[in-house]
Amino acid sequence: MSAGKPDTAEPLNLGSLAAPDGRFRAVEGGGAASAAGFRAAGIHAGFRRDPSRLDLGLVVSDTPAACAGVFTRNVFCAAPVIVDREHLGGCGYGTARALLVNSGTANAATGPRGLEDAYRMAALVAEGLGCPESEVMVASTGVIGVHLPMERFDTGVPQVIAALSDRGGADAARAIMTTDTHPKEAAVCFDGDSVGYPGCTFTVGGMAKGSGMIMPDMATMIACITTDAPVAAPDLHRALRATADCTFNKVTVDSDTSTNDTCILFANGAAAPGAQPFAPDGPAMQAFRQALLQVCTTLARAMAADGEGATKLVTVRVAGAASEADADAAARTIANSPLVKTAIFGHDANWGRIAAAAGRSGAAFDQGDVSIDIMGIPVCRGGLPVPFSEEEALRRFERPEIELDVHLGAGNHATAVFTCDFTHDYITINGDYRT
Amino acid sequence: MSAGKPDTAEPLNLGSLAAPDGRFRAVEGGGAASAAGFRAAGIHAGFRRDPSRLDLGLVVSDTPAACAGVFTRNVFCAAPVIVDREHLGGCGYGTARALLVNSGTANAATGPRGLEDAYRMAALVAEGLGCPESEVMVASTGVIGVHLPMERFDTGVPQVIAALSDRGGADAARAIMTTDTHPKEAAVCFDGDSVGYPGCTFTVGGMAKGSGMIMPDMATMIACITTDAPVAAPDLHRALRATADCTFNKVTVDSDTSTNDTCILFANGAAAPGAQPFAPDGPAMQAFRQALLQVCTTLARAMAADGEGATKLVTVRVAGAASEADADAAARTIANSPLVKTAIFGHDANWGRIAAAAGRSGAAFDQGDVSIDIMGIPVCRGGLPVPFSEEEALRRFERPEIELDVHLGAGNHATAVFTCDFTHDYITINGDYRT
């Protein structure tokens, strides 16, 4: 037992999973249209009553791009998810040009008519762009069990196509919001010189939305990532799945998994025209995966921080677990515990609730080996209370980001899960969302 | 597919799991001391600052009684749970006289000193009653990670023993409360005439507390049930486990499992002195199990209705599941969904959230086979919306008890789970419980 068990009351410092790397530069104000050869737009098409709210977003690659998707595993999956899976040929990757997203109505629990509507969304975009329907991905987000007002697409799709621009990422990010309080975008770039593509600069950018009904799998309701790097579709899919597992799938706002979760990644190679695709295990691919991780981590943290009613971004790090599954179970159970989340809202360093959540998570450990820190303050060692300054804890609770570190003393596996606190506003938002 | 699938928009009427039975009579004002040969008391011993709050409860059988216990499976189990398991010889049943419960401090995450304290609680009662220490069960409920103020027991235990009375059940039920807003007691009796014990009347009574940090296994934080029926300890244990599984273990307030959950059942045979114990499969045992089910169902429903901040008792019934595990997973996921619970608080017949929760529960079904009713109003058939009167739904949401019925159309297994709505008061209560 007690592998690597910390036995002093020094802070645990379990560290971050996504350390910054000097090779990657953030693209100021970057998003889904930052990569070369991509354009985006967001307009008000009438899905929402308020004419100032954008509600139809489109991201387009100028040329056919490698495309990969990961989707909700909810049995009640929405019509657009079914259509996207079909357009990607069932394997999760293929070739595509565009992603169209409406907000306001989810097109979930809508039966055969819902499916027809989702096909029609793709057909309208395909017609406007002059590409096959199968090269158009679609997504919808909003209320479940209501049919889409299809006439809004008839007028809206030509408008949103006309509005496409390489500076349209911000509007697209706004158009896909539901209860989100602000748009979520990120982009980074890296040079190709040291990875076999001299003179090239590659960009990975994206947008996401998601605030409630958020838990893996998939955490995000909708995310769209684009890159101008030349990546073959199967490699793109592998990279997307691995990255989603440690970013979007580590976000939990309220333990509810959406019916519509969709993450689409496009790679059009526009930054290195005519170049060979990145070798699957070469340095360029490694750099691309790192850039993708940074973009997805930024978007995932933004989703957790913007959880419905949230006042804090909470990172739950679990180390010393006997297996990866145990680490995940413990971190996720702590992150989903309403008692832990309300304690954080109440600025209460109530570590007993963290211990109790770990204890019921199914993870194997001995309570006498457990250490817990709250924002770097040791509060529990060897399963027992450690005296700490309540004033110092209250002071640290003023921070916008709260870190909980738990060491189970049972092995060498670790993970981090992103969540938020549980507040009155969550109840208010969800107590009358539909009315 | 679609085993027994309802295909009309008639209400589902999945029915209640615990139908009333004319053979059993409720005991007015009954509780843990209603059965013959039991006494109880509750006093203020100083675990809480407010002198008007009772905080030390005791239930005693006048003679050694068969005793069975079921306990939390949380790894962070509390010291009293460890002591009780030991006193019951590791098999969960044995002989005992008494259960001592303090509120205010949970004696969880307290290490070797906590264990010593729990042994000391039992020793003090054993001394006062003149019985072996191993015949005393102990329980604690309250804040985790704080040591018990043992001097309160030195003075309190003799006082609570002196206060024992056959009308003391109500005080004991008050003494074990934490955030509960009212005490929870129930008792029923049945005649022995038709089950081979002519002239005897058997009583089953009990008390429970539990309001937050409530989810199986065990649902209740503390429950004590007593009976004057002659039941052998192994049979008592079997009956308790089976009953707990469909009552206390079907309650979920916030998906959090306590470190201290304890349910103790005593049977002293005082209603039929010198009689043989009930035969394991005979009619008397069947009647006893039915009475036990009624008492535990009443207490379990009372706990769900008194969930922290709750305004509604919510019963989630799932039928048409492919297995019992599927029925339980679907019902529990719906009952724990913050989105479902806030919708009920908001009087919003938002069945899409119910469907989405069922869909992510892991239960196997086809979304096209699902039917959903909210308070008897069909809202979804074949996975699709059914038009319904929002006014009628709003009217029915005024009721104190809300029933959700979901038919998965995938088999013949059914279950019911008890929960409550999720309100501002839950956030308020748990946002500053410790301060």
The pLDDT of residue A423 is 83
CA distance B315 to B376: 12
Task: Read off the pLDDT of each residue in A84-89 and give the average, rounded to a whole number.
Answer: 95
Establish, for the pair of chains A and B, how many residue pairs have beta carbons separated by less than 8 Å. 219
Query: Given a cut of 50, is residue B434 above it in pLDDT?
Result: no
Which of A317-341 are b and which e, b meaning 16 or more Cβ less than 10 Å from the residue's Cβ?
bbbbbbeeebbbbbbbbbbbbbbbb
Query: Using 50, 70 and 90 to split pLDDT, how confident is the model at A428?
Result: confident
Residue among A338, A350, A357 minimizing CB distance to B434: A350
Mean pLDDT over the full length of chain B: 88
pLDDT digits (tens, 9 = 90+) for A364-413: 999 999 999 999 999 999 999 999 999 999 999 999 999 999 999 999 99
Whether residue A129 has pLDDT greater than 60: yes
Q: Is B35 on the interface with A (CB under 8 A)?
A: no
Tell me, yes or no, if B109 comes closer than 8 A to chain A by beta carbon: yes
Q: End-to-end alpha-carbon separation of chain B, Å?
A: 54
| Positions of E strands within A261-370 | 262-267, 313-321
Distance from CA of A425 to the nearest CA of B (A): 8
Whether the predicted pLDDT of B324 surpasses 60: yes
Q: Is the pLDDT of residue A426 over 80?
A: no
Q: Does the distance separating the beta carbons of A348 and B431 come in below 8 Å?
A: yes
Banded model confidence at residue A435, pLDDT cuts 50, 70, 90: very low
Higher pLDDT, A423 or B16: A423
Structure tokens at B398: 């005024």
Q: Strand, coil or helix: what is A121?
A: helix
Structure tokens at B350: 């938002």
Mean pLDDT of B250-262: 67
% chain A with pLDDT above 90: 67
Question: Is a pLDDT exceeding 50 seen at residue B3?
Answer: no
Q: What is the pLDDT of residues A155-185, one digit of tens each?
A: 999 999 999 999 999 999 999 998 788 899 9
Inform me whether the pLDDT recorded for B111 exceeds 70: yes
pLDDT value at position A258?
Answer: 56
Question: What percent of chain A shows pLDDT beyond 70?
Answer: 91
- pLDDT in the model for residue B93: 95
**Domains of chain B, residue spans:** 31-305, 313-431
**Contact B1/A at CB under 8 A:** no
> Mean pLDDT, to the nearest integer, of B129-152?
93
Is A355 a residue whose pLDDT tops 50?
yes
What pLDDT score does B13 carry? 56
The token pair at A243 is 């990255």
CB contact under 8 A, A352 and B77: no
Whether ipTM tops 0.85, in short, is: no
Closest CA to A299 of A5, A26, A90, A58: A26
pLDDT at residue B290 above 90? yes
Q: Please say whether the beta carbons of A187 and A25 come within 8 A.
A: no
Partners of residue A342 in chain B, C-beta under 8 Å: 426-427, 430-431
Average confidence (pLDDT) over A44-67: 96
Nearest CA in chain B to A144: B352
Question: If pLDDT is split at 50, 70 and 90, which confidence band does A35 have?
Answer: very high
Q: Tens digit of pLDDT for each residue in B385-408?
A: 999 999 999 999 999 999 999 999
Q: Which of A179, A220, A247, A298 is catalytic?
A: A220
Residue B433, pLDDT score: 45
Report the DSSP beta bridge partners of residue A358: none
Q: Which residue of B has its CA nearest to A431?
A: B346
CATH for the stretch A313-431:
3.10.20.340
The reply to whether A220 belongs to the active site is yes
Residues pairing with B317 in the sheet:
B405, B416
Which residue of A lies nearest to B386 if distances are taken between CA atoms? A145
B146, B355, B431: residue with CB nearest A342: B431
Phi and psi at A79, nearest 5°, equal -55, -45
Of B76, B351, B432, the CB nearest to A346: B432
Rounded CA-CA distance A67/A385 in Å is 51
Q: What is the mean pLDDT of residues B164-171?
A: 97
Domain B31-305 architecture: 4-Layer Sandwich (3.60)
What does the alpha-carbon distance between residue B39 and residue B35 come to, in Å, rounded to a whole number? 9
**pLDDT tens column, A209-246:** 986 554 433 334 799 999 999 999 999 999 999 998 88
Lowest mean pLDDT among B56-60, B129-133, B346-350: B346-350
- Pick B296 or A7 by higher pLDDT: B296
Q: Collect all residues of chain A within an 8 Å Cβ-Cβ radius of residue B342.
A: 426-427, 430-431
Nearest Cβ partner for A338 among B254, B350, B364: B254
Q: Which residue out of B72, B105, B220, B243 is catalytically annotated? A: B220
C-alpha dihedral, A30 to A34 to A39 to A45, nearest 10°: -10
For B232-243, the pLDDT digits (tens) are 999 999 999 999
pLDDT band at A20; cut points 50, 70, 90: low
Q: Convert the pLDDT of each residue in B330-382 to its tens digit.
A: 999 999 888 898 889 989 898 988 998 898 889 999 999 999 999 999 999 99
Give the model's confidence band at B35: pLDDT under 50 very low, under 70 low, under 90 confident, else very high: very high
Beta-bridge partners for B41: B58
Q: Which chain A residues in 52-71 lie under 8 Å from chain B, judged by CB atoms?
A: none
Residue of chain B nearest A143, judged by CA positions:
B352
CA dihedral over B157, B158, B160, B165, signed as positive or negative: positive
